[in-house]
A and B are shown apart, each in its own frame.
Chain A
Amino acid sequence: MAIPGYSYEFKHTHLLSIEDLSRLDIEHILDLAEEFAEATRRKERPEPHLKNNTVINLFFENSTRTMSSFEIAAKRLGADVVTMPVAQSSVKKGETLIDTAMTLNAMAPDAIVIRHSASGGVKLLSRKVDCAVINAGDGTHQHPTQGLLDTLTIRRAKGRIEGLKVTICGDILHSRVARSTTMALHMLGAEVTLCGPATLMPKGTDTWGAARALNDFDTAIDGADVVMMLRLQLERMNGAYLPSQREYFRSFGLTAERLKRAASDATIMHPGPMNRGVEIESAIADGDQSVITEQVEMGVAVREAVLKLLSGRRT
């Protein structure tokens, strides 16, 4: 879509937070990701954009889906991928994150994909390396590729983002997905409602771009075009944040009954992994309105797009 006198270039060196992106950046990533997704559906192999590139997957926190999603995306583009789960890394032996960064940097990778348990940890590492750094989740701060894949999934399901009512329900306080997805959707013009128990709702969600923050799910879901349920860590339901699992389900579980309040064609999402019967009824998760598996599919496509855009950034 060339406009005379106007040119766009993706200028970022790293992908650390949705906050660093403009609306144009996001739309550009989504357009590219959609091309990758369509190619995959046609069983076409994309151009080997990352041929001769080395991508390191460095996961300080356990992850199956995000780690394999990045690995598959990088391999599809022809990269050499080294995946390092934390159990085998020297961090367990007391090496600091910065020392790890400098060690890996000396091996001259082209991109490092990193997940770390500390908010801001990925950014700290990015300052010490010469290659592209992609945040695959840092503490309770950001998970930008998840925000992008959620946005792409919604755009494909609804044909637009502008003006959509999106309700995100669950443990907002500890969710980096809620932060990234809310920011991305807000930037593209959606009206985002966040909902959760008072103990799991942080202050100031308006600064993320959320239109409303509610404790009553029935109100929050009213007329929603998209309903996204978040995973609730079971250990938070032992009395510390919530009295019990069944009490949570009573107020915040997505049931067929509750779903009737949403728009009749509401799209159902979940970033996974799901606690079936805790935050969502199985029948809904597997039902026609659910795009949960498409989220996983778009995850690979978005990561292909991000890896391609950030390739060749090594200085």
Chain B
Amino acid sequence: MKTLIRNARLLCPANGWDEEGALLVEDGVIAEIGKVSGKADETIDADGLCLAPGLIDLRVKIGEPGAEQKETLATASRAAVSGGVTSMVVMPDTNPVIDDVALVQFIANRGRETSDVRIYPAGALTKGLKGEAMAEIGLMSDSGAVFFTNGDLPVADPSVLRRTMGYAASCGALVASRADEHSLGKNGVMNAGALAARMGLSGLPREAEWIGLARDLLIAEATKCPLIIDQISTARSMEMIKAARTRGVKAYASVAAHHLFFNDLDVGDYLTYCKVNPPFRAEEDRQALIEALAHGDIDAVVSAHDPQPPEEKRLPFAEASFGAAGLETVLSALLVLVQDERLSMLDALRPVTTSPADIIGLPQGRLAEGAPADLILFDPEKPWLCEREHLRSRSVNSPFDGRRMVGQVMQTFVGGKNVFAR
């Protein structure tokens, strides 16, 4: 089976392409790019739309197993394809926690059986995510866990973290950690500052992120364990990571797409859809994160998809759960920045395609002959209104609800198969 996509704007951050051309897919793999000579069984006229690698999302929370009322792999997949996400790494903080080989295999199998996108499990860093005993990192790694994380609650005890990261490094495993000294702002629900004080809400101080980050970077340096800093939210965090990199620390930085779009003022009238952790910070922080992205200092932009049903969000702000649905808005959030001339198109795509693929060692995320044909066709200028009624995720807790967006996916392909068309 050969499919030709012609008359497209080919975009590939891996080799810096941004040019008109065609692409030939053969048996689920990219066969030819640019000027295509081979004959096709089927031809798609892209009519000038952008053709790019499908998005690779390094942080997605799913309710499967244990909280299927929030989201299953199948419902998340439905949301993902409409947002252009073709590969997702799912977090281990489910019930039960993904902390052994059988569960890693269960997730991978369920992904293959029920989802249209590629599912990669992340393994728990410690057993039960309790932060006490290291999980079977080596065995889970062999079974396909792409990295190891303690989820939303980082390992509190530095000696446990140090031993676990040292061991992970020896297995050649990658660790991801939320930078957070949890004891600071334990009851916090939004960014600490004047607005939180005025609204009578407990704050999550920036220092909690910095202290947690300083610790994690020092342990990464001592253990030589490569580390993904999961969802930075402040300007200074970026400076700290850059300084560590100059000392030779292998530190990747991720940022959630919503942190590029919102600041703490957006919490406004106690909007629980804007209750996320790390919280939306000050406008200076948001601007600094966009700048860092433009300079290529941020390695991955993630959806931080965290579906929460109404019973978790229709509550007073302090009582509502953290988390935002994000799979359907990552690409648009970045395309808005392209439209605003804050980012070039390739700089916007790199942290959601080639760069995360390279971090976890995937062949996709690029337009290259022989690479899996995980592709998206999108209109970079199409305006649309994000309305929760029209989101495909089982839980629709999107902070973008009611926002005007720019840029939308028109078609999505995974392994050459068309899995979504608008």
Taking the complex as formed, is B34 at the interface, i.e. its CB lies under 8 A from any CB of chain A? Answer: no
**A residues near B311, Cβ cutoff 8 Å:** 96
A77 to chain B, nearest CB (A): 30
B193 touching A139, Cβ below 8 Å = no
**A residues near B197, Cβ cutoff 8 Å:** 173, 202-205
Mark interface residues in B273-284 (1 if CB within 8 Å of A CB, else 0). Answer: 000000000000
**B residues near A115, Cβ cutoff 8 Å:** none
Specify the chain B residue showing the minimal Cβ separation from A125: B316
A119 touching B194, Cβ below 8 Å = no
**B residues near A97, Cβ cutoff 8 Å:** 315-316
Taking the complex as formed, is B157 at the interface, i.e. its CB lies under 8 A from any CB of chain A? Answer: no
A contact face: mostly helix, strand, loop, or mixed:
mixed
B269 touching A123, Cβ below 8 Å = yes
| Alpha-carbon separation in the docked complex, A120 to B270 (Å) | 6
B213 to chain A, nearest CB (A): 22
A119 touching B193, Cβ below 8 Å = no
| Alpha-carbon separation in the docked complex, A121 to B269 (Å) | 11
Q: How many residues does chain B have at the interface if contact means C-beta atoms less than 8 Å apart?
A: 18
**A residues near B316, Cβ cutoff 8 Å:** 97, 116, 118-121, 124, 139
A96 touching B198, Cβ below 8 Å = no
A280 to chain B, nearest CB (A): 24
| Alpha-carbon separation in the docked complex, A138 to B270 (Å) | 12
B198 touching A179, Cβ below 8 Å = yes
B270 touching A139, Cβ below 8 Å = no
Mark interface residues in B290-319 (1 if CB within 8 Å of A CB, else 0). Answer: 000000000000000000000100111111
**A residues near B314, Cβ cutoff 8 Å:** 96, 98, 124
A96-B314, A97-B316 are known contacts. Are A204 and B199 too (CB-CB below 8 A)? no
**B residues near A123, Cβ cutoff 8 Å:** 269-270
Taking the complex as formed, is B211 at the interface, i.e. its CB lies under 8 A from any CB of chain A? Answer: no
| Alpha-carbon separation in the docked complex, A138 to B200 (Å) | 9
Mark interface residues in A205-231 (1 if CB within 8 Å of B CB, else 0). Answer: 101100000000000000000000000
Partner of A118, one of B192, B194, B319: B319
Taking the complex as formed, is B208 at the interface, i.e. its CB lies under 8 A from any CB of chain A? Answer: no
Taking the complex as formed, is A176 at the interface, i.e. its CB lies under 8 A from any CB of chain B? Answer: yes
A204 to chain B, nearest CB (A): 2
| Alpha-carbon separation in the docked complex, A208 to B193 (Å) | 13
Taking the complex as formed, is A165 at the interface, i.e. its CB lies under 8 A from any CB of chain B? Answer: no
Partner of A176, one of B192, B200, B270, B317: B200
| Alpha-carbon separation in the docked complex, A195 to B201 (Å) | 20
A204 touching B194, Cβ below 8 Å = yes
A204 touching B198, Cβ below 8 Å = yes
Specify the chain A residue showing the minimal Cβ separation from B310: A98
A203 touching B194, Cβ below 8 Å = yes
Partner of B198, one of A98, A121, A139, A208: A208
**A residues near B319, Cβ cutoff 8 Å:** 118
14 A-B pairs with C-beta separation under 8 A: A96-B314, A97-B315, A118-B316, A119-B199, A119-B317, A120-B200, A120-B201, A120-B270, A139-B318, A140-B201, A176-B200, A202-B194, A203-B192, A207-B194
Mark interface residues in A172-199 (1 if CB within 8 Å of B CB, else 0). Answer: 0100100100000000000000000000
A141 touching B199, Cβ below 8 Å = yes
A192 to chain B, nearest CB (A): 14
B195 touching A204, Cβ below 8 Å = yes
In chain A, residues 79-110, which have Cβ atoms closer than 8 Å to a Cβ of chain B? 96-98
Specify the chain B residue showing the minimal Cβ separation from A128: B314
| Alpha-carbon separation in the docked complex, A176 to B192 (Å) | 17
A97-B316, A118-B316 are known contacts. Are A179 and B200 too (CB-CB below 8 A)? yes
Taking the complex as formed, is A267 at the interface, i.e. its CB lies under 8 A from any CB of chain B? Answer: no
A203 touching B193, Cβ below 8 Å = yes
B367 to chain A, nearest CB (A): 48
Taking the complex as formed, is A142 at the interface, i.e. its CB lies under 8 A from any CB of chain B? Answer: yes
A120 touching B194, Cβ below 8 Å = no
In chain A, residues 112-160, which have Cβ atoms closer than 8 Å to a Cβ of chain B? 116, 118-121, 123-124, 138-142
A142 touching B195, Cβ below 8 Å = no
In chain A, residues 218-253, which have Cβ atoms closer than 8 Å to a Cβ of chain B? none
Mark interface residues in B9-29 (1 if CB within 8 Å of A CB, else 0). Answer: 000000000000000000000
| Alpha-carbon separation in the docked complex, A121 to B314 (Å) | 10
| Alpha-carbon separation in the docked complex, A96 to B315 (Å) | 7
**A residues near B195, Cβ cutoff 8 Å:** 204, 207
Partner of A120, one of B192, B193, B199: B199
Partner of B270, one of A96, A116, A119, A205: A119
**A residues near B270, Cβ cutoff 8 Å:** 119-120, 123-124
**B residues near A121, Cβ cutoff 8 Å:** 316
**A residues near B193, Cβ cutoff 8 Å:** 203-204
In chain B, residues 198-229, which have Cβ atoms closer than 8 Å to a Cβ of chain A? 198-201
Residue among B193, B270, B311 facing the most chain A CB atoms (10 A cut-off): B270
| Alpha-carbon separation in the docked complex, A142 to B201 (Å) | 11
**A residues near B317, Cβ cutoff 8 Å:** 118-120
**B residues near A204, Cβ cutoff 8 Å:** 193-195, 197-198
Partner of B201, one of A116, A119, A205: A119
**A residues near B194, Cβ cutoff 8 Å:** 202-204, 207
**A residues near B199, Cβ cutoff 8 Å:** 119-120, 141
**A residues near B315, Cβ cutoff 8 Å:** 96-98, 124
**A residues near B318, Cβ cutoff 8 Å:** 118-120, 139
A115 to chain B, nearest CB (A): 13
**B residues near A96, Cβ cutoff 8 Å:** 311, 314-315
Q: Which 8 A-B pairs have the closest CB atoms?
A: A204-B194, A118-B316, A141-B200, A202-B197, A120-B270, A140-B200, A119-B200, A121-B316
Q: A97-B316, A203-B193 are in contact. List 20 more A-B contacts (CB 8 A).
A: A96-B311, A116-B316, A118-B319, A119-B201, A119-B316, A120-B199, A120-B200, A120-B317, A121-B316, A123-B269, A124-B314, A138-B200, A139-B201, A141-B201, A202-B197, A204-B194, A204-B195, A204-B198, A207-B194, A208-B198
**B residues near A142, Cβ cutoff 8 Å:** 200
B193 to chain A, nearest CB (A): 6
Specify the chain A residue showing the minimal Cβ separation from B314: A98
| Alpha-carbon separation in the docked complex, A121 to B199 (Å) | 11
**B residues near A116, Cβ cutoff 8 Å:** 316
| Alpha-carbon separation in the docked complex, A139 to B198 (Å) | 12
A191 to chain B, nearest CB (A): 19
| Alpha-carbon separation in the docked complex, A89 to B194 (Å) | 35
| Alpha-carbon separation in the docked complex, A203 to B282 (Å) | 14
Specify the chain B residue showing the minimal Cβ separation from A202: B197
